[in-house]
Amino acid sequence: MNLTDTLLSEEWYWAAWAAWFLFFARSVRRAPWGRLRDSEQMNVWLGMIVLLTLLWSLKAGVKPGLAMHLVGATVFTLSFGPHLAFVGLSLVMAGISLNGAAGPLAYGANALLTAGLGVAFSHFYYGLVVAWFPRHFFVYIFVNSFLGAALTVVVLGLASSLFLAMSGVYSWGYLADEYLPYFLLLAFSEAWLSGMTMTLFVIYRPGWVASFDDARYLTDK
């Protein structure tokens, strides 16, 4: 979802800016920046930011604030952890705000709804899978990556719809009929691309994936 600068009142936008700044400062403080001292890791992190900036710029939508695009939050979170992922996705949102794909005043709200919620749910879901499922390679790929990416998109769609309905921008009936169902289609694409990406990463470049450990998922399996 890419809110425009005129869709909501300024009070909503400034409150979102304040909340985003607090979460962003927390992630900057807690992020494992030492990992990016490795040039390869830095290149991967920056590469994800550039690629997702392009993907987020390719959006579909017929009314202001109802745009949809691939997210990539699950891949980013599984690869770099929640704090580096949130900082990275916040930079992605800054990029598309600067190129005119989203309003700069609405940056805080957009970053919270897409980057913040996407990373938070991906990390929360990963924790549930680790706690409830056996530590197996196929569990990591299909439950964490495929299903996790799909559920993240559905959660983002539901949260965006609730936010727009509660703020009075669109009626819940309109959103439920004309906006929310399309996130199910987007979820399939997100799941396929995210699952394929993580499969390639853990097979050929497992060092790029912070949440994957050979000893945990492959040894004696």
Domain CATH code at residue 177: 1.10.1760.20
In this prediction, residue 100 has a pLDDT band, given cuts at 50, 70 and 90, of confident
In a domain, 80, yes or no: yes
In a domain, 5, yes or no: no
pLDDT for position 169: 87
Average pLDDT over residues 140-148: 94
In this prediction, residue 188 has a pLDDT band, given cuts at 50, 70 and 90, of very high
- The answer, yes or no, to whether residue 220 has pLDDT greater than 60, is no
pLDDT for position 135: 83
In a domain, 187, yes or no: yes
Convert 21-54 to b/e letters by CB count within 10 Å (16 or more is b). Answer: eebbeebeeebeeeebeeeebeebbeebbeebbe
Domain that holds residue 32: 10-217
- The answer, yes or no, to whether residue 65 has pLDDT greater than 80, is no
pLDDT for position 218: 66
In a domain, 77, yes or no: yes
Structural domains of the chain, count: 1
Contacts of 146 (CB under 8 A, 6+ apart): 191, 192, 194, 195
- The answer, yes or no, to whether residue 60 has pLDDT greater than 90, is no
Q: Give the residue among 118, 75, 110 at the shortest CA–CA distance from 94.
A: 110
Tokens of 78: 């599984």
Q: For residues 163, 169, 171 and 175, what is the CA-based torsion angle, rounded to 10 degrees?
A: -60
pLDDT for position 204: 92
In this prediction, residue 21 has a pLDDT band, given cuts at 50, 70 and 90, of very high
In a domain, 199, yes or no: yes
In a domain, 47, yes or no: yes
Average pLDDT over residues 134-162: 93
Tokens of 83: 């704090």
In a domain, 93, yes or no: yes
Q: 155, 123 in Cβ contact below 8 A? A: no
In a domain, 102, yes or no: yes
Of residues 174 and 5, more confidence is placed in 174
